[in-house]
Amino acid sequence: MNYRRLGNTGIKVSEVGFGAWQLGNQRDWGQMSDQEAICLVHEAISFGCNFFDTAPNYGLGKSEELLGKAFLGKRDRVVISTKFGHHSDNTQNFDAKLIRSSLEASLTRLQTDYVDCLLLHNPPFECFNGSSPQFEILEKLKEEGKIRAFGASVDSSHEVLELLEMTNCQVIEVMYNIFHQEPAKAFPLAHEKEVGLIVKVPLDSGWLSGKYDQYSRFDGVRNRWSKEQIERRATLLSKLTFLTDEETTLAQAALRFILASQAVSTVIPGAREVKQLRENFSASEFQLSNESVKVLQELWEEELANNPLAW
CATH of residue 48: 3.20.20.100
Whether 307 is in a domain gets the answer no
Whether 245 is in a domain gets the answer no
Question: pLDDT tens digits, the chain, 311 residues: what are they?
Answer: 999 999 999 999 999 999 988 887 666 556 778 898 899 999 999 999 999 999 999 988 899 999 999 999 999 999 999 999 888 888 889 899 999 999 999 999 999 999 999 999 999 998 887 778 999 999 999 999 999 999 999 999 999 999 999 999 999 999 999 999 999 999 999 999 999 999 999 999 889 998 888 888 887 777 788 888 989 999 999 999 999 998 999 999 999 999 999 999 999 998 888 999 999 999 999 999 999 999 999 999 999 999 999 88
Whether 195 is in a domain gets the answer yes
Whether 280 is in a domain gets the answer yes
Residue 129 CA to residue 147 CA, distance in Å, equals 19
Q: What's the number of domains the chain is made of? A: 1
- Give pLDDT, residue 202: 96
- Give pLDDT, residue 22: 80
**Containing domain of residue 90, as a range?**
3-205+260-288
Whether 97 is in a domain gets the answer yes
Residue 141 CA to residue 135 CA, distance in Å, equals 10
Taking the whole predicted model, whether its pTM rises above 0.75 is answered as yes
Whether 59 is in a domain gets the answer yes
Q: Between the CA of residue 71 and those of 43, 45, 75, 99, what are the distances in Å?
A: 12, 10, 5, 23
- Give pLDDT, residue 26: 64
